[in-house]
Every structure is written in C-alpha cells, then in structure tokens.
C-alpha cells in the first residue's frame, strides 16, 4: 500500500496559517520515491510538506504512472491545493489537490548523470511546450516547469521581469522565448559540442529544420551540477553577443520616467 506524503514548496506569502485558508495554486513536482514509497509534490523553491488525502493522491497519479516499477517518474505541473488543517512549521499539513494544469512528465528522476544526457532530456520536451505557447503567459508557465533546473538567481530574474508594471517595460518581448533564443521555436533541437571549465559546462544548441541543423548554434546553455542536480546558470546568444542574465539585469525601459 502506497505511503502518501506530498512535499510542496511555498513562498512565505503562501504558507497556510489556518485550516480555513482558501485554495491556491503552486508550481511543483510530483513524484513517488522508490524504496520508501513516499509520494511527494515539491513546490519549487521551498521545503514545506503537505500530506494529501487518498482521493487527492489517486487524482494526481492519473496524470502519470506514479508507481512505475524500477523507474522514478516525476510530474511537473501547476497544482491547486486546499489545506484542511492549520499550518505547523516543520510538520506535514493535510491538503486536498483539486486541479492539475500544464502537466509534463519526466520519465525518470533525478536527471541523467552526464551533461549531454541532461541537456538532451531538456531538449526532448521543452521545445514542444514552447511551440504550443500562444502568449507570454503561456511560455512563462512553461519556463516554470524547469525552475527546479535553474539557479534561484536566474529564476528570480525571470519572475521579476515578467512582473514589471508601467511605466517600466519588460526586457523580454512577449513573443521571445529566452531559453531557445527565438520568437518561433523549431520542432527539434540538437546538442552540439560541450566544454567544461571550472566545474561549469557550456553546450551549443542547434535548431533542426526539415532535417537540417543550423550552421551556427542558436543558443549556448551554461549549466553546472551540484550533488545529483543539474542547474541552468545562463543562456548565451552568440549572434547578438549577449546573454539572458545580462538582459534581465539591464535597466527597465522607461522605468522611473514620468509620462
């Protein structure tokens, strides 16, 4: 019999204080751990633990094969949860999971051991989601799915840029995908050469159109490994000779000016 435990990450503003708190949505990763049988949904970035009722666990498992034999699949998605008991720091909190949206399943977690396998896994699914995004909000939700694979600094910069309000203007255009350096992502991308220096990796990423790989890399991924986790650190844009972090750190257009 499966032991149920949901681990979600919450910002301080979302930490439940009472059992009467309204339902809210988080970005998380659901997974049943091999060996101990714990079922976890981790909200990317914190360490709060939730324990769902049996119906909620069964509901989440409809979106992926959570008891997948020797493999350990993970479900990345947005989860709507409803606390059913007061929050106690350091303790599991009972919840109901009422909705799952933008699901994506990684066949085995944690990611593969080699840098090329990690990047190939990313390129196997991310472009498909990027192509299906019809608006800035849609691709923002897609990038949320890989926040587990980003440093907290890079994730925070992306969030801050997406949240700017007039008179400030976002650095990234609404139609621009910052991870693929494109306004029209290709159907397929390939990993080129990978170089390692001082514990960091730089990998060329090429778009493939009609079976032909682009002559020059569209983007260079900068990433590293800590423990068993891989982290994206930055995305470099060779043609424009800039990078995502530099763009996000640039002053916001018209920010602070009077109209």
CATH number for the domain that contains residue 134:
3.10.450
Nearest to 243 by CA among 259, 219, 227: 219
Q: Is residue 87 part of a domain?
A: yes
Q: Please, which pLDDT band fits residue 19 given cuts at 50, 70 and 90? A: very low
Helix (H, G, I), strand (E, B) or coil at 40: strand
Q: How far apart are the first and last CA of the chain?
A: 63
**Cβ-proximal residues to 160 (8 Å cutoff; 6+ apart), any chain:** 248
Report percent pLDDT > 70 for the chain. Answer: 76
Question: Residue 191: which pLDDT band, with cuts at 50, 70 and 90?
Answer: very high
Query: 3-state DSSP call for residue 190?
Result: strand
**175 is a domain residue:** yes
Q: Per-residue pLDDT averaged across 82-90, rounded? A: 82
Higher per-residue pLDDT: 13 or 205: 205
Question: Do residues 76 and 121 share a domain?
Answer: no
The number of distinct structural domains making up the chain is: 2
Q: What is the pLDDT of residues 196-250, one digit of tens each?
A: 999 899 999 999 999 999 999 999 999 998 776 788 999 999 999 999 999 999 8
Highest-pLDDT range among 46-55, 56-65, 66-75, 134-143: 56-65
Q: Does residue 93 share a domain with residue 34?
A: yes
Residue at a domain's end among 56, 74, 106:
106
The answer to whether residues 61 and 97 touch, using CB atoms and an 8 Å cutoff, is no
Tell me whether residue 99 is in a domain: yes
- Greater confidence, 109 or 73? 73
Pull the structure tokens for residue 103. Answer: 């699901």
Integer angstrom CA distances of residue 10 from 14, 148, 171: 6, 13, 27
Give the pLDDT score at 247.
92
Q: Which residues 6+ apart lie within 8 Å of 223 measured at CB? A: 115, 118, 119, 200, 201, 203, 230, 231, 232, 233
In this structure, the answer to whether residues 127 and 245 fall within a common structural domain is: yes
Whether 68 and 97 share a structural domain: yes
- Residues 139 and 232 placed together within one structural domain of the fold: yes
Quick one: pLDDT band at residue 17, thresholds 50, 70, 90? very low
| Band (116; pLDDT cuts 50, 70, 90) | very high
Q: Which of 52, 84, 106 is the last residue of a domain?
A: 106
Question: Where is the domain boundary, 83, 106, 129?
Answer: 106
Residues 208 and 163 in one domain: yes
| Same domain, yes or no: 127 and 90 | no
Question: What pLDDT, in 10s, does the model give residues 156-188?
Answer: 888 788 777 777 777 888 778 888 999 888 989
Co-location of 91 and 162 in the same domain? no
pLDDT at 6 over 60: no
In-domain check, residue 36: yes
Note if the pTM is more than 0.75.
no
Q: Examine residue 125 and state whether it is found in any structural domain, yes or no.
A: yes
Domain that holds residue 80: 3-106
What's the mean per-residue pLDDT of the chain?
Answer: 79
Both 46 and 91 in one domain: the answer is: yes
Question: What are the b/e assignments for 55-72, b being 16+ CB within 10 Å?
Answer: ebbebbbeebebeeeeeb
Q: Is 259 a domain residue?
A: no
**Residue 100 forms part of a structural domain:** yes
Same domain (yes/no): 119, 242: yes
Lowest mean pLDDT among 82-86, 141-145, 247-251: 141-145
Same structural domain, 145 and 223: yes
Q: Within a domain: residue 257?
A: no
E strand or H helix that includes residue 224? strand 219-226
């Amino acid at each position: 019999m499966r032991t149920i435990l949901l681990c979600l990450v919450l910002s301080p503003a979302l930490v439940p204080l009472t059992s009467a708190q309204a339902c809210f949505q988080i970005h998380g990763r659901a997974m049943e751990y091999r060996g101990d049988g714990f079922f976890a949904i981790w909200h990317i970035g914190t360490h709060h633990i939730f324990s769902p009722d049996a119906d909620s666990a069964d509901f989440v498992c409809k979106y992926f094969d959570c008891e997948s034999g020797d493999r350990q699949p993970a479900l990345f998605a947005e989860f709507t949860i409803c606390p059913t008991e007061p929050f106690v720091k350091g303790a599991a909190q009972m919840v109901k999971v009422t909705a799952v949206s933008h699901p994506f399943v990684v066949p085995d977690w944690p990611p593969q051991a080699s840098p090329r396998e990690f990047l190939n896994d990313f390129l196997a699914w991310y472009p498909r989601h990027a192509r299906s995004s019809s608006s800035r909000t849609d691709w923002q939700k897609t990038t949320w799915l890989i926040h587990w694979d980003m440093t907290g600094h890079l994730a925070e910069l992306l969030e801050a840029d997406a949240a700017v309000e007039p008179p400030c203007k976002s650095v990234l255009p609404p139609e621009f995908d910052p991870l693929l350096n494109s306004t029209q992502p290709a159907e397929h991308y390939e990993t080129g050469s990978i170089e390692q220096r001082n514990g960091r990796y730089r990998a060329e990423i090429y778009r493939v159109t009609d079976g032909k790989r682009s002559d020059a890399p569209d983007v260079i991924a900068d990433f590293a490994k800590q423990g068993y986790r891989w982290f994206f650190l930055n995305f470099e844009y060779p043609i424009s000779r800039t990078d995502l972090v530099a763009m996000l750190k640039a002053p916001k257009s018209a920010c602070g000016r009077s109209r």
